[in-house]
Amino acid sequence: MSVDLRTVKRVAHLARIAVSEEDAERMTGELNAILGFVEQLNEVDVAGVEPMTSVTPMEMKKRQDAVTDGNKAADIVANAPATEENFFLVPKVVE
Amino acid sequence: MSDLTHLTISEARAKLRGKEITAAEITEAYLSAIESANPLLNAYVTVTADKARGMAKASDARLAKGDGGALEGIPLGIKDLFATEGIHTQACSHVLDGFKPRYESTVTSNLWADGAVMLGKLNMDEFAMGSSNETSYYGPVINPWRRSRLQTTVKPTIHDGGGGFVVPGGVEQSRTYDNMQLVPGGSSGGSASSVAAFLCAGATATDTGGSIRQPAAFTGTVGIKPTYGRCSRWGIVAFASSLDQAGPIARDVRDAAILLKSMASVDPKDTTSVDRPVPDYEAAIGKPIKGMKVGIPKEYRVDGMPEDIEALWQQGIAWLKDAGAEIVDISLPHTKYALPAYYIVAPAEASSNLARYDGVRYGLRVPGKDIIEMYEKTRAAGFGREVKRRIMIGTYVLSAGYYDAYYLQAQKVRTLIKRDFENVFAAGVDVILTPATPSAAFGVADEDMASDPVKMYLNDIFTVTVNMAGLPGISVPAGLDGKGLPLGLQLIGRPFDEETLFQTAHVIEKAAGKFQPEKWW
């Protein structure tokens, strides 16, 4: 399988990365090189093979359902580019 | 003072405890070494001199009372991927511009609890994506090793006539060095370069496809990626969560064992942290390997592999045989599929992990006319080329209609790769010996690598299988190639059997000797 310029632009939008025409053209070539490389996986007979979900056979640990942390609003917004009264500020999303 | 930087961790530990040296002295020695070398090697992106001095002072107070921890007063470098409270943590990306976390990663917390001193944050490939440390927003790291040519001069013995004065002749060997800059490997290039150039006693690193073992091999240092689940991933910037593991890069096998003991822990904050006590890895060093079964996988003999590497592998086999190990030929039939499967699984996980960098909660923000445009412009400006490439691949293979063909197929192949290893371990093999990398360090801005991303990816061909199967792997320096550059051998072990890796790697280290670059920096 290979991708064309239109697909690359669509994927870039899905990934929320702005691309110029020139970027998209370069990426098309690069992505096709990588997709060509991974193509060989189709040679492998995977009939009856379970997909891997965890490398270590273990049951997922569950935390106790208890409040162990909190009251850190100032810490949480400390690194944000724009805040107001412990809220993250973003451009208007609803009219 | 500068020779204090040449002490191994075990040597420094003895001298600190014996009060022959102080933590303040060894810390100053490293800070001054960094000051003069870093403009040339670019291994550190931030030096935390004040913090280091404060920590060293506290260490000296504890050492004076005789209650120092396992790493008391030992100065370490920390890869920029580890969250360090109040200190630059950017995974060497522009998108995390100015990020200073309000928390400390579990691994670094463990190190500080044991008394280690932080010298600063180390350069790396952006988000740990790369094999040459050239994708860093902070520029490439330079390998302290340079290519050289060995010259042999035969001098005749000179007899000075009747006086009986004799100048003895003999064979003299000298090296002529090439000034071409070489990469230290990646993604933990700053870690490897700083350890090899004596800019820290040891360093933290992480390994998703070979990012500890490949740079260790390129710089003549020891690097171990422990079993998945051995070190907590809490507070480590995530790349591919099912593959990422932290581990140390150190000057010798014993130092790597000492560091891993402190870094590893059982952590309730990481659900994949495995509930097993951390053994005393150092105790495994020096134990005989007589009767140990060492597997040699035929699939690791690849086309175009340099003769030097094949010869080194044969030498490694001979050393282990001499030490009493039993050598057995094994087959890991799905080896060649590990790298292509990795280039589906890792980008897929990365594309979702990196979705969080959106200009809202931390780091860079580039304004746009609406929120979508702000996301798109922020991510376009904040991520470098390699990171974008991987996010795009990941987004594509997870997108509707392609998930089964790519992601599901790759996860099934991953099961088969792991099964290959399980089969040989079930047949009684204790440890597997392979080369660590398919080449020695290459040049900065190598044209072949730059023009073809897949060529760069092939660097991880011998290391990536281990991540796919979640196994422990160690890279240990074993010799120099014809150009005087270090080469490493890799040992792969059963899950949670890091002790056998340290034990066996030590046998190789004893036979091969240690390697250090000629100082030019």
Check if the beta carbon of residue A41 is closer than 8 Å to that of residue B409. Answer: yes
The least confident of B140-149, B159-168, B251-260 is B159-168
Q: Is B298 on the interface with A (CB under 8 A)?
A: no
Q: Residue B449 and residue B497: Cα distance in Å, rounded?
A: 35
Q: Is B356 on the interface with A (CB under 8 A)?
A: no
Q: Is B136 a catalytic residue?
A: no
Site of tokens 């870093």: B38
Overall average pLDDT of the B110-131 stretch: 98
- Is the pLDDT at B385 greater than 60? The verdict is yes
- Is the pLDDT at B1 greater than 60? The verdict is no
Residue A27 is assigned to a structural domain of this protein: yes
Residue A49 is assigned to a structural domain of this protein: no
b/e code A68-81 from CB counts within 10 Å (16+ = b):
eeeeeeeeebebbb
**Average of per-residue pLDDT values in chain A:** 93
Q: Is B36 a catalytic residue?
A: no
- Is the pLDDT at B2 greater than 70? The verdict is no
Residue A46 is assigned to a structural domain of this protein: no
Q: How many residue contacts between A and B have a Cβ separation below 8 Å?
A: 169
Range of the domain at A12: 5-40
Overall average pLDDT of the B48-56 stretch: 98
The least confident of A20-29, A52-61, B316-325, B441-450 is A52-61
Q: Where are the domains of chain B?
A: 2-144+181-335+416-512
pLDDT in tens, B297-311: 999 998 888 999 999
- Predicted confidence at residue B162, as pLDDT, reads 65
Q: Are residues A38 and B406, on separate chains, in Cβ contact within 8 Å?
A: yes
The least confident of B43-57, B156-170, B494-508 is B156-170
Residue A34 is assigned to a structural domain of this protein: yes
Residue A47 is assigned to a structural domain of this protein: no
Check if the beta carbon of residue B147 is closer than 8 Å to that of residue B485. Answer: yes
- pLDDT category, B229, cuts 50, 70, 90? very high
- pLDDT category, B156, cuts 50, 70, 90? confident
Alpha helices in B170-242 (DSSP H): 189-196, 213-219
- pLDDT category, B163, cuts 50, 70, 90? low
- pLDDT category, B373, cuts 50, 70, 90? very high
Instruction: For residue A13, give the CATH number of its domain.
Output: 1.10.20
- pLDDT category, B264, cuts 50, 70, 90? very high
Residue A23 is assigned to a structural domain of this protein: yes
Q: Is B337 on the interface with A (CB under 8 A)?
A: yes
- Predicted confidence at residue B450, as pLDDT, reads 81
Residue A91 is assigned to a structural domain of this protein: no
Residue A22 is assigned to a structural domain of this protein: yes
Residue among B438, B165, B200, B129 at smallest CA distance from B312: B438
- Is the pLDDT at B100 greater than 90? The verdict is yes
Q: Are residues A34 and B372, on separate chains, in Cβ contact within 8 Å?
A: no
Q: Give chain A's domain count.
A: 1
In CATH terms, the superfamily for domain B2-144+181-335+416-512 is Amidase signature (AS) domain (3.90.1300.10)
- pLDDT category, A58, cuts 50, 70, 90? confident
**Average of per-residue pLDDT values in chain B:** 96
